[in-house]
């Protein structure tokens, strides 16, 4: 299994072309990360219908914002109608994707629902390592998410640095394995070793963007260990 997280990011590493994009990191001391930007009144929070990944005993309820779109025009006798998309996630057997505020977990024999975290985050993918579970009975989830307003624009979203986390399929042991202020490039499972390998990039020149002048870091985690300790390796 190989997960490519940022095709655009990899292209930027091999291209000399400098594009003007929103910086993912801001180093300005006087710029507050606690912005008072008002929340869009056309958004409200909902949960998708629950998901039960094959081989697990926990329902997963994706939670996110629904956006209401005002559309001009006639809709069955009405001159104006609000169009609402209630879909907040995508599910492909062993992976959930989207821009999610949280995941709530519920055992199939219980009515109790527990959030993955109380931290403000944006989850972009949640992947169940099904082949590892079949082999070792260890049921682990891998998450790519944003956990900090690194560009200090008052929002936690896809314009901030993406991190890598692990948890069990019950949502417990929620653990960050990437380093703060390092953007996750991709990750890969080597089943023969029961390891998760991943790469991150660090903004070495402090220009607020990731480019060819920055440093790529290489790490792995033994997924069968009681504690998920991150090890550094150098393949170059």
Q: State the burial class of residue 151 (Cβ atoms within 10 Å of its Cβ: 0-12, 13-18, 19+).
A: buried
Q: For residue range 84-114, what is the model confidence (pLDDT) as tens digits?
A: 778 899 999 999 999 999 999 999 999 999 9
- Write the CB contacts of 31 (distance below 8 Å, at least 6 apart in sequence): 152
pLDDT of the residue at 85: 75
Q: What share of the chain is helix, strand, coil (3-state, %, to 5)?
A: 5, 45, 50
Rg over alpha carbons for the chain, rounded to the nearest Å, is 20
* Rounded average pLDDT over 70-90: 62
pTM for the predicted model, two decimal places: 0.81
Q: For residue range 169-189, what is the model confidence (pLDDT) as tens digits?
A: 999 999 999 999 999 999 999
Q: For residue range 7-44, what is the model confidence (pLDDT) as tens digits?
A: 444 444 444 444 445 668 776 664 544 444 445 557 78
Phi, psi torsion values for 129, nearest 5 degrees: -85, 80
Strand pairing report for 58-75 and 140-146: unpaired
* Extended strands (E) in 76-149: 78-85, 89-91, 95-100, 102-107, 114-115, 122-128, 140-146
> Residue 198 pLDDT more than 90?
yes
């Amino acid at each position: 299994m190989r997960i490519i997280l940022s095709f655009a990011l990899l292209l930027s590493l091999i291209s000399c072309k400098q594009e003007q994009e929103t910086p993912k990191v801001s180093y300005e001391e006087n710029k507050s990360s606690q912005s008072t930007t008002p929340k869009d009144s056309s958004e409200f929070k909902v949960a998708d219908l629950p998901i039960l990944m094959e081989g697990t005993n926990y329902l997963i309820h994706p939670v996110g914002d629904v956006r209401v779109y005002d559309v001009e025009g006639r809709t069955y006798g009405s001159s104006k109608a609000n169009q609402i998309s209630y879909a907040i996630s995508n599910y492909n057997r062993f992976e959930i994707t989207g821009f999610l505020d949280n995941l709530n977990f519920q055992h199939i024999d219980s009515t109790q629902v527990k959030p993955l975290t109380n931290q403000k985050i944006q989850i972009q993918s949640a992947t169940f390592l099904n082949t590892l579970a079949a082999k070792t009975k260890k049921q682990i989830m891998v998450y790519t998410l944003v956990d900090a307003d690194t560009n200090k624009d008052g929002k936690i979203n896809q314009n901030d640095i993406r991190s890598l986390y692990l948890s069990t399929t019950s949502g417990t042991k929620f653990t960050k394995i990437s380093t703060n202020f390092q953007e996750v490039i991709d990750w890969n499972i080597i089943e023969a070793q029961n390891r998760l390998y991943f790469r991150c990039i660090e903004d070495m020149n402090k220009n607020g963007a990731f480019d060819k002048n920055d440093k790529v870091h290489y790490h792995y985690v033994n997924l069968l260990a009681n504690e998920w300790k991150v090890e550094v390796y150098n393949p170059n």
